[in-house]
Amino acid sequence: MAGEGAATGAELYVGHGTVWVNGDNGYIAMQVSGLEVLPGAGLTDSGSIQEKIPERKFHSHTHILYDIRTLLGEREANYLEIGSYVGHSASLMLSHKLKTNVYCIDPLCLPASHFQGNENQEKTLVENLERAGGSYEVIKGYSTEGKVIDFFANSGKEFDILFIDGDHSIQGVLNDFYNYEKMVAKGGFIVFDDYWDAEHSPGVYRAVQEIVNFIKKNKLPYLVLGSLENTQYAPPVWLEGDRKGLLNEFILFKL
């Protein structure tokens, strides 16, 4: 059964307890335990990007962004990330063989010691993005600033992937979702980073749960795909607790 409102190239099918999202280049299947992407080359490419970016990286679970881009198919896609750090995820998206326009929002105010680099954050980010090549634009500022929100709201652009990895407080995550979700295209994805990082980012989990409850209560046009199975054993691999065998990302699909 095709999902009502699904964009061309990304249709939904429901049957036998599984929700299938059919993209141009593969399928994702959402079950109780999470989401599987087939085929997936993102982890391999993520490792290649990491070799080119020596600065600090927290985990390799963002490879799913690459796989989602593959799923979207041959058409040109727009990717927006809130919180770029030194460009690991943005560079990964720029490296994709399919045309992807990358937009980054970051205040770029961290000291070099934070990311174990030699230059200031802005220079480090730009150098890493230049090395990756492709089409990108860096918007310097906080995602909650009116001028930043207006820049994207007035651009007329719709985004196929929104990656939320900025302010990890509860209110910060809520702000980023509510300020930018309306800019996500039908058939697009919203990905929250650090969903399971209770030690360093407990606010993300709580904010996402609040968002999911809001979506369900108000019957908003989203399919909650949730946290993914770590089928490629991207580090770190969690072996116990609620996050056992899962990735650190939480995904919504916009109908």
Nearest C-alpha neighbor of 195 from the set 242, 161, 235: 242
- In angstroms, the CA 9 to CA 223 distance is 16
How high is the pLDDT of residue 116? 65
How high is the pLDDT of residue 12? 40
Least confident stretch, 17-21, 72-76, 159-163: 17-21
- Angle between helices 121-132 and 42-52 in degrees, nearest 10: 130
| More confident call, 34 vs 158 | 158
Non-local CB neighbours of 116 within 8 Å, separated by 6+ positions: 55, 56
Average pLDDT value for the chain? 81
pTM for this entry: 0.82
26: left (phi over 0), alpha (psi -120 to 50) or beta: left
At 217-235, the pLDDT tens digits run: 999 999 998 987 887 777 7
- In angstroms, the CA 84 to CA 140 distance is 10
How high is the pLDDT of residue 7? 30
- Per the DSSP assignment, residues forming a β-bridge with 36 are 29
| More confident call, 11 vs 167 | 167
How high is the pLDDT of residue 87? 84
- pLDDT tier at 30, thresholds 50, 70, 90: very low
- pLDDT tier at 64, thresholds 50, 70, 90: confident
Cα-based angle 84, 252, 197 (whole degrees, multiple of 5): 55
Nearest C-alpha neighbor of 115 from the set 49, 165, 55: 55
Average the pLDDT over 235-252 and give the result.
86
How high is the pLDDT of residue 101? 98
- pLDDT tier at 186, thresholds 50, 70, 90: very high
Most confident of 5-14, 89-98, 226-235: 89-98
Peptide bond into 236 cis (omega under 30): yes
- Strand 18-23: give its sheet, edge to edge: 10-15, 18-23, 26-31, 34-38
Q: Residue 174's Cα: distance from chain center in Å?
A: 15
How high is the pLDDT of residue 61? 66
How high is the pLDDT of residue 13? 40
The structural domains of the chain, ordered by start, are: 56-254 (3.40.50.150)
DSSP β-ladder status, 184-192 and 159-164: parallel
How high is the pLDDT of residue 250? 95
Q: Is 37 in contact with 228 (CB distance < 8 Å)?
A: yes
Q: What share of the chain is helix, strand, coil (3-state, %, to 5)?
A: 35, 30, 40
Average the pLDDT over 63-79 and give the result.
91
At 119-160, the pLDDT tens digits run: 889 998 999 899 988 999 999 999 999 999 999 999 999 999
- Per the DSSP assignment, residues forming a β-bridge with 26 are 23
Alpha helices in the chain (DSSP H): 42-52, 63-72, 88-94, 112-115, 121-132, 146-153, 170-180, 202-218
